[in-house]
Each structure stands twice: as C-alpha cells, then as structure tokens.
A and B are shown apart, each in its own frame.
Chain A
Amino acid sequence: MEISDDRPSVLDHLRRQGLSRRDFLNWCAYTASILALPPSATPAIAQALSSKPRPSVIWLSIQECTGCSESILRSFEPTLESLIFDQFSLDYHHVLQAAAGLAAEQARDNAIERARGKYVLIVDGGIPLDEVGRYSTTGGKSGRELVRTAARGAALIIAVGTCATYGGIPAAAPNPTGAGGAFDALRDLIEKTEVMAPLINVPGCPPVPEVMTGVVVHFLTFGKPPPLDELRRPVPFFGRTVHDDCPRLPFFNQGLFAKSFDDEGARKGYCLKDLGCKGPTTFNACTTVKWNQRTSFPMYSGHGCLGCAQPKFWDREGGFYGKPF
C-alpha cells in the first residue's frame, strides 16, 4: 500500500499522538478475535499496520440513505476517530468531507490518481444501472460512472450494506430506477479484467460497524480479503446464522415461543419465531459482535430479525410478520 517514501506509518502517527504501543496491540488483538483469527495473528496485524503509511480509502455513496455511514460512525473497536486519523486516510466521503463542490471532487480525483492501484474503494447505496444515469448524479456525473471510474484503480472494492451488495431497497419490486449492487454495475468491467480488484460484499441494513472495519484491516494485514463464500461475503462474519448464537435459542429448542410482543413469553425472552423472526435463515454477526458497544441486537430487544443481510429480504413472501423463517 506504499504511497510515497516520506510518509510515516500508522505506528509513527500513534507515537506522535502519545498513544501507547500497548493500546495499539490491544486493538489488533480484538480485531484478530472478531475475524476468527488465532491470537498468533495479532503480531501480523500490528506488523502490517506499523510498517506501512496510512492507506487511502475512497468512499462513494450513490442511492444511499447514509445509514451505512452512520453505522461506521458507531464503530468502537476500533473507533472511527482512530480509523480515519490513525489507520487509514479517508480521502473522500461526502458526509464528512470538509471541502465541497469542485474542491471535493478534486480531492477525490487526486486520491484516485495518487494511489492508483492501491486504494480501498468502499461503495454504499444501490446503483441505477441505466447508461444515461439520470437517477443519480454527483457533480453532474452519473453515479454508475463514478463507481466504474474509481473501481478501475482500486486494490480492493468493498460493497457495504444490502443496497450496494444486492441492490437493496431501491431494487425491491418493482425496482423503479433499475437499481443493482456494485457487482452488477461492474460486471462487464470485471469480465473484461478492466477491474482487477477483489470485490467483497458486506451486507446488512446497515452492516455491523466492526464487520466493515474488520474486513478492511484483514486486507491491509494480509494483502488479500478474508475467505469469502459464494456470495462474496467474508466467512468469519457470515459463516453462521444469527439464530445459531441467539440467547433465545434454548427456548426455541424447548418449543417455547412468544405469541405477542408483550405477553408473558416475550417478557421471559422466549423465541420470536411466531412473530416473524428470520434468524434461522439470516447469516450475520449481530448476535456475536452485537450492536452499539455490545448493548443489544434486534432479538434481545424483542423484535424478530428482519433478515436484512439476505438478498431480496425486502421482497420475502409474508413480509416481516407473516410466514416465519
């Protein structure tokens, strides 16, 4: 990820800012654990982040609701501050960017030019697949073209959120704007090998923040994505269903189900199957990594899983409260 020789490493940054190496190693150890790596991987992560200058990250939002950006703002291990000021250089993100208009576009284009072939491209939101591009423009340019241009120079492409992975809500029937995910927008370029970067899908509406950051750290450490499944999802986070680790699972096994959101069963934490929970068919890390500093996750707070990390979850038969699973 080297950008130029005179730039300091992440560890230099930390030292300059008075943070200890121990803090840094603790962070590396946590990241290794949520990536399902053995403790012995911690030094490798530390080594990778200590010996390289901060890699460039470019974040493009097309048909987004900004929920994915808000989610990463909630990341606490690591925090967003440590990410964008210490670990990565977030060179374009239109929600946080100080510059506006042409100056912002120049910052983005400079980053693409300077780190060509080396930067991480993150995309959120659906992408209208029509070639005219009338449904989404930024700076007068179509969202689809912006993504295709940035993808050509990326070392890694991460589609975050169910919109950028599978089209998400704009692609729900009848898909009025002809939206798709990042892979759909890049398919021909990938086939023609004009886009060589691996593409990782991190679904969720929004994704768990530590899942997004964990994937980036894995790539920076090992120079390749974590193992991916057939839907290009990182296996460490999407290898199990949320049902597998749900605290209500013992009740499921005993056949004890809440029948209403505030009946006695609901108050005792019974299984939410009869209230529409999609947990057994939803692969995500909500019940393991949990949400908002491990405060809760949907089933712990009484609502069934919507299945928001699954393709086509908006169009599932029976809706959110009908047909269970």
Chain B
Amino acid sequence: MANPSDRKTGRKSTSEPRAATTGSQPRRVVVDPVTRIEGHLRIEAETDAQGVITRASSSGTMVRGIEIILKGRDPRDAWAFTQRFCGVCTVVHSIASVRAVEYALGHVIPQNAQHIRNLMIAAQYVHDHVMHFYHLHALDWVDVVSALKADPAATAKLQTSLSPWPNNSPDYFGSVQRKLKGFVEGGQLGIFANGYWGHPEYKLPPEVNLLAVAHYLEALAWQRDVVKIHAIFGGKNPHPNFVVGGVPCAISETATATAVNAENLRLVGEVIKKMRTFVDQVYLPDTLAIAGFYKDWATRGEGVGNFLSYGEFPQGIGAAERTTLLFPAGVITNRDLSSVQPVDFEDPTEIQEFVAHSWYQYSTGKQAGLHPYDGETSLDYTGPAPPYEQLDVDKSYSWIKSPRWKGLPVEVGPLARVLVLYASGDLRARGLVDHALGRLGLPIPALFSTLGRIAARTLETKLIADSMAGMHDALMANIASGDLRTFDDVLFDPATWPKKSRGVGMMEAPRGALAHWLTIEDGRIGNYQAVVPSTWNAGPRDAAGREGPYEAALRGHKLKDPTRPLEILRTIHSFDPCLACAVHVIDPDGDELVRVKVL
C-alpha cells in the first residue's frame, strides 16, 4: 500500500476514470484489465450525467494464432493444440476436437471411453463453477475487510442454520478472522490490495462476509482434490491427455500397472462424494444466502434475451449421436420459454460470424456473415497504437468476432442451459429452479438477470454433481461385465481415412456452447475453426449494430461511483468470461485469404 493508513483498511480511492468528462461528451469509464477472469478483456462504458451506462463496448485485446498453426498438421494431434486455447476449461477443447475428428471419420468409441469422458467433463463443470463463484466472482459481492467486524459466534450460528457442513464452530471462524486480521495488519494485502472495499453496493452483514471468506479459503483446498479425477484418467491437471478413438488410459490388469486400477476407481467415487457434499452443503446454501441480500440484481443485467445450448453428456457412443443425458440442445428466442428451436450445425445460414466491429476483413466485405466452414480470418488492425487511452468504438474495437444464430445475438452458458432445460419440461431442473426462486421470493423472469445467471450456474452444478455417481456406477458396471475396452484403433491409422472429410465436434462447456469445425484432406488438417462460448457472449456489435450479450447486459446499469465501477464487474463476471478461448487469430501475411479462424 502507498502509505501506512492504507495498510490498516486496504481502502484506496485514488482511482480516476481513464477518460474524464469533456464538455457535453458522455463520460467514458474504462475497465482494463477486467481481472478475475481468464485472459484479456477491456470494457469501455459511456455514461450519462446520472452515471447510467448508455453504451458499453466489449473488447478482447490479445490474439495468438492456434487455428492457423493447426493447418497442415495431423488431426490426431489437434486436441493437444486446441486444449491450449484455455488452461481453465482444460478439458473442453480437447473433447470438442476429438469429437470433430471422430465425426469426420464416423468413429464410434467404446462405452468405457464415453463414461470416462463424461466423468471428466462433469468434474470440469463442478470444479470450474465452484472456483468461479468463490475465487473469481465472490469479491464483487463479498467485502473482505468487513469480515474483520464479524462476530465469530454469530457466524457459526449462521453456518449451522444453513447446512450440516462441519466447519461451523466459533473457534473456526475466529481463526479465519485472525488469519485475515494478521494479513491486513501485516500491511501486505497482496491480491486484496486496492479492492473496492467499503463501496456502498456491498450489502452483506459482516458475518456473511466472514463466512464467504472462510469458504473462499476452503474452496482453494477442495479444488485440488477434485482434479484427481482428471489426473487418474488423463495423467495430470491442467491439460490432461486425450486421444481420438477413445481415452488413452488402459484399465489396469494389476494393482499398479496403470492409474486406472481398482484403488483409483474407488478414489474416483470418493472424490465424487466430496464434490457433491461441498456443492450441497457450501456452494448452494452460500449462493442462496448471498443472493437474498442482492435481490435488486434480479432485475439488472439481462442481456439479449436469446439463449443457445448445444447439449451435453451424450448417451450414445457414435460421434453424431445427439441424445443427451443431462442438457438438451436448442434455442430460446426473445425470452419465450414456450418453445425450444432446433440447431443445425451444417446449415450455412444458421451459425455465422461477423467482423463489422472486429479487427478483421472479409473478402466479401466487412458487412458479410460467414458460416464457420466458409470462415475467413484476415488481419486488419485499425485500433490505436499502444499505449492508448481509449478505443474508437464506432469502428472496429476487438479481436473477437460476432457470432450470430439466424442473425440474432444469443447468450450461451449456465443460464441458457437451465432455460432450455426448463422450457423442455425437465422435472429435476424445474424442481430446483422453482425451489430456489421460491426461497428468494422471486418470479421466473428474475432468471433473466445478473442474479439469475449466478443462480443458474449453481443449480446446474447441483444437477451435475448429483448425476456423477450414476456416471461412475455405469462405468464400474460396464467394467464388471468384462468390457475393458477404452480405445478403438480401427481408424487410428490415417492410411485408413477417406481422401477428404469434414466434421463438427460440439459440446456444452461450463461457459457455454462450443463447437470445432474441421476439414481433413490427405490425412492432414485443411481447415480448423472454433466458435467458443466467450465469442458468443463477449463479441462486439455486428453489422446491424446489434450488441453482443455483455454489451446489452451492461446498458442501463447505474454506476453509484463511476471511479469504482463495481456494477460493471458484477454483470461481466456473472458470464464467467474466458478470453483466450474467445479471440480469433490473425493471418500471418496480413492480406492472404485464410480459410481458418484461429484462436
């Protein structure tokens, strides 16, 4: 901290908006870096004299080039490259990639492989959502410094009233508070330095703040154990291993030959129990308890009102098999829960990407929309040279493209999945949603909000955590029946492949609808494109001027203190941004027409 008095409280209010009001021009509030996300996101928001956001612009400010790097490589290697789109959602791009190759080749994987992949995806969801809540999102709602004023005995009483979670004694909360106090008094606040502590939008009583800080720390320890599921089947986390045609882990014949042995399969069951207990006794009750103090956020931050899900946890073992165990595919438009429309991945008019406000050119002009099979990525950086103060948001302002479904911007992610489940009449989902909203005294339309997005994430985590024991049982039963197959090598040799093929691998990632499209020519990748969740959500305005979901969600937010724009963080974080995934890649030559979009 800059001076001793700051050390005591951690408060600091010297921040000024990057661009101050000039004459009658609207004030522009810039948040860059948006922290507590994956990657590099910049938000520029114009506000009126009352501090109400009149226009928001979302910009991805980093590109790499992985899709262009993939051109000409062995399609069987693509899962490892695309996995490095993102080390947070470390499983999802590998899965989309192996599915795309399997789809192109008509590959059917063994039943054990499907069960193991489902378990790995489910573990990713639960891990990701809990960490998002506590480590990425909580500090927008939880005032860490206020927790110092809490009564540990009252906090213990609160914990006991919420759930049977055993860490519920006054001594325990006293020790957490002492730890925090030591940290603050030591004068080195580290990752908590300069937070917006004391902001009037923080509404939780000190005891709830202390409870949440305790669970922030507990979740750090919990998450390390959860990923053991990835380590057993994939060898490590982050970035476990996968393979086209199944999974790479043979089921062990002896106690120690491979990680997938009797002892570790039992450990998987234990980890699932540990995950489920934490979700039921900590994450879910905390979400509802905290939400109760922020019901005003059930009418803010809606977004575009259109929602898309590709579906996840396939029942069948063929790559084109679309019957799902948990999340159905479909689109909801204009908040209409009475109908769910189908999605077609091959129809060139359905899923398209636009670059009207992105730093790219299309051969058919900046206004065109292209289906991923026909996509182009041609660099056209027109932004300011760094260092810069602000972007020209009337022109191009992001490395992210603008995907549209039948011309519409759509939101993807937990809220989309829960709405599609709800609209499809799924009884478990309906029961959970109705119960949660009932507890909060909120109507169904409350889901169309920042708070609704957070609640949907928690509720779907419970659905998945509850389903994992069944996935594990199915794997164990199949192994017990004598089926040890985990990999099918019949199509592993490229010499067996057709001269030309193409495929799409779709999945529901924790952050939303994800698909990879690829073409294979003479055993090599001809074209590789990914349209990922945060591209759908974080993209800029399109050719028709329609905002992306982040931008639409922020419009109308009133900033109590524009120098500390906490409200912007709340709504942006409710989407769980993942920017490294979202950004397209550039063309190395600048002018060559490149038929891939690279992340």
Contacts and interface: CB of A to CB of B under 8 A. Distances in A.
Interface stretch (A34-42, A102-110, A210-218, A225-233): A102-110
Contacts of B16: 102
Given A18-B175, A70-B87, A205 B239 contact: yes
Contact of A85 (B81, B84, B179): B179
Of B86, B135, B249, B485, the most chain A CB neighbours within 10 A belong to B249
A105 B385 CA distance: 19
Contacts of A243: none
Contact of B194 (A96, A99, A301): A99
B148 to A, nearest CB: 14
A169 interface: yes
A67 B87 contact: yes
Interface in B192-208: 192-196
Given A103-B564, A301-B233, A292 B224 contact: yes
B258 interface: yes
A161 to B, nearest CB: 9
B544 interface: no
Contact of A177 (B194, B239, B580, B586): B586
A79 B85 CA distance: 26
B154 interface: no
Contacts of B236: 286, 291-292, 296-298, 301
B239 A89 contact: no
Interface in A21-58: 53-54, 56
B37 interface: yes
Contacts of B15: 101-103, 106
Nearest to A301: B235
Interface residues of B, number: 122
B64 A94 contact: no
Interface string B378-408: 0001011111111000000000000000000
A314 interface: yes
Interface in A10-28: 13, 16-18
Contact of B69 (A16, A173, A264): A173
Given A90-B190, A142-B387, A70 B90 contact: yes
Contact of A94 (B12, B33, B246): B33
Interface in A257-297: 258, 260-264, 266-269, 286, 291-293, 295-297
B88 A100 contact: no
Contacts of A187: none
Nearest to A299: B235
Contact of B186 (A54, A145, A247): A54
B598 A176 contact: yes
Contacts of B350: none
Nearest to A104: B35
Interface stretch (B71-79, B441-449, B470-478, B503-511): B71-79
B18 A102 contact: yes
Of A56, A102, A110, the most chain B CB neighbours within 10 A belong to A102
A170 B599 CA distance: 10
Interface of B: 1-2, 12, 14-18, 30-40, 42, 61-66, 68-69, 73-74, 76-77, 80-81, 84-88, 90, 110, 135-136, 139, 144, 175, 178-179, 181-183, 186-188, 190-196, 217, 220-221, 223-225, 227-228, 230-241, 243, 245-254, 256-260, 264, 381, 383-390, 484-487, 489, 492, 564-565, 569, 580, 585-588, 598
Interface of A: 3, 6-8, 13, 16-18, 53-54, 56, 62-71, 73-74, 76, 79-81, 84-85, 88-91, 93-107, 110, 126, 132-143, 145, 169-170, 172-177, 179, 205-206, 247, 258, 260-264, 266-269, 286, 291-293, 295-303, 306, 308, 314, 319-322
Q: Closest 9 CB pairs between A and B?
A: A67-B87, A176-B65, A269-B257, A301-B235, A98-B195, A298-B235, A303-B241, A266-B250, A292-B231
8 contacts: A73-B220, A94-B36, A99-B35, A134-B383, A134-B385, A140-B389, A143-B62, A261-B486
